A = this chain, B = another copy of it.
Amino acid sequence: MAGLPSSGGIPPSADRAQPAYGAHLLAYAGIPSFMRRPATRELAGADVAIVGVPYDGGATSYRSGARLGPRQIRAASTLLWGYNAALGVAPLEVLRLIDYGDVAVQPGDTAQTMGAIAQESGVLLAAGLSVVALGGDHSITLPLLRAHAARYGPLAVLHLDAHADTWAGPPDHSTTFRHAIEEGLIAPASYVLVGMRGPLWAAEDAIAPRELGALVWGADECLTLGIPAVVASLREHLAGRPLYVSLDLDAADPAYAPGVGTPEIGGLTSHQLLQLVRGLRGLRLIGADVVELCPPYDHGDITAVLAANLVFELLSLLALQLKGQQP
C-alpha cells in the first residue's frame, strides 16, 4: 500500500511536527512544505533535502519576483501524488525526504548569499544528503555547483535553459556557467546545454558556450529532431560522472511557463521537458536545482505546477538510483 504522504522512513518524532498535519490528504489543505514532508533541520536519517533559495538579486535581466518561487513551488507540490508511473517508482517510499526550509539569503548582497548557499548546501552534502534546490534566480546555481564539486569532484552538468548564462563578469544570473567552468567545477567535455534560443547580445554569444566546451542543443534543434535524439546524445556525453542538473524554467516556451523572469518564444513543451528529465534514468544524478520561477507573472500557477512536477521527476530519478544501490 502506498505510504504517501506519510513520513516514509523519517522517524515519527520528526513527522509529529509535519506542517500538513490535519486534513492531510487534500491537496489544498495544510501548511505547504514540499510534498508535505517534515520541515526540519534534523538531517539524521534523511536522504534528500528540498532547499529553498528565495533570492532574486542576482541581476535578473528583466522581471524580478523569483524570491517567491520556493514558496509557490511548495504550494504546487501539494498537488503531487506519490507514484511515478512513467519511471515506475514512488519516490517517497524509497527516499527519506525532508524539507529543509530556505537558505539564509541576504537580499541585495549576492556575494554573501552565495556564501550562505554554498555553506548550507555543503553541510547537507556532508551529512550525506542529496540536495534539490528551488530558486530563486539562476545566480544560485554557482554556489550549489561549488558545494557539489567540493564533495564529488568535477561534475557533469546538464543545463536546461533558453539562455547560455556564459557571459563574462562577476557572479550573477548571467555568468554562472562560465564561472563554473573556469573554476573547474564542471569536468571537461561534460557540460550539455539544452534549449538555447532567442536573440543574443552578439554573434560571439552563440559560440561562447561551445568554446567553453559545451555540447549545445538549441531549442530549434530539439523541436525539429525530437527529444529522443537529444536524450541519446546527452546520455552519451554525460555518462560516467556525477551529474548535476540545473533546470531554468525558461527552457519551456512561455505558453508552458509564463511565470519566468526572461521569457523566450520558441521553447520546449512540458512533455518535452518530461522526456528530457526521464531520459536521464540510469545516469548518476547527484543534485539538481529548478530556478527562475517568477510567481507574479504565473497566471493559473501553471509554471509552478510545471516546476513541482519536474522536481518530482528528479526525486524519482534519485529514488531509482537509491533503490538500485540497495541489495
Residue ranges of A at the interface with B (Cβ–Cβ < 8 Å): 1-2, 4, 14, 16-24, 26-33, 38-42, 52, 54, 56-65, 67-68, 70-71, 74-75, 79-86, 88, 90, 99-105, 107-108, 110, 120, 172, 197-206, 218-220, 223, 253-256, 258-259, 262-267, 269-271, 273-274, 296-302, 305-306, 309, 312
Contacts and interface: CB of A to CB of B under 8 A. Distances in A.
B199 A28 contact: no
Given A84-B199, A172-B108, A258-B299, A18 B30 contact: no
Contacts of A218: 85
A271 B16 contact: no
B28 A31 contact: no
B31 A300 contact: no
Copies of this subunit? 6
A148 to B, nearest CB: 19
A19 B101 contact: yes
Given A16-B40, A199-B83, A274-B266, A105 B65 contact: no
Contacts of A90: 202-203
18 contacts: A22-B102, A23-B105, A31-B39, A32-B71, A56-B64, A65-B65, A81-B205, A83-B203, A83-B206, A254-B306, A255-B255, A255-B270, A255-B302, A263-B301, A265-B274, A297-B300, A297-B301, A298-B300
A267 B296 CA distance: 23
Nearest to A307: B265
Most buried by B among A21, A27, A31, A70: A31
A315 B40 CA distance: 26
A65 B258 CA distance: 16
A31 B32 contact: yes
A218 B206 CA distance: 35
Question: Which one of A28, A29, A82, A255 has the highest number of Cβ atoms from chain B below 10 Å of its Cβ?
Answer: A28
Given A253-B256, A296-B296, A266 B262 contact: no
Contacts of A4: 201-202
Contact of A202 (B62, B82, B259): B82
A68 B28 contact: yes
A254 B101 contact: no
Given A63-B68, A305-B254, A108 B40 contact: no
Contacts of A88: 203
Contacts of A103: 22-23
Contacts of A33: 19, 31
B199 A265 contact: no
Contact of A85 (B86, B203, B271): B203
Contacts of A266: 270-271, 274, 309
Contact of A107 (B26, B39, B223): B26
A202 B1 contact: yes
Nearest to A226: B224
Q: Which of A1, A74, A203 has the most CB of B within 10 A?
A: A203
Give the residue among A84, A107, A198 with the most B Cβ atoms within 10 A.
Answer: A107
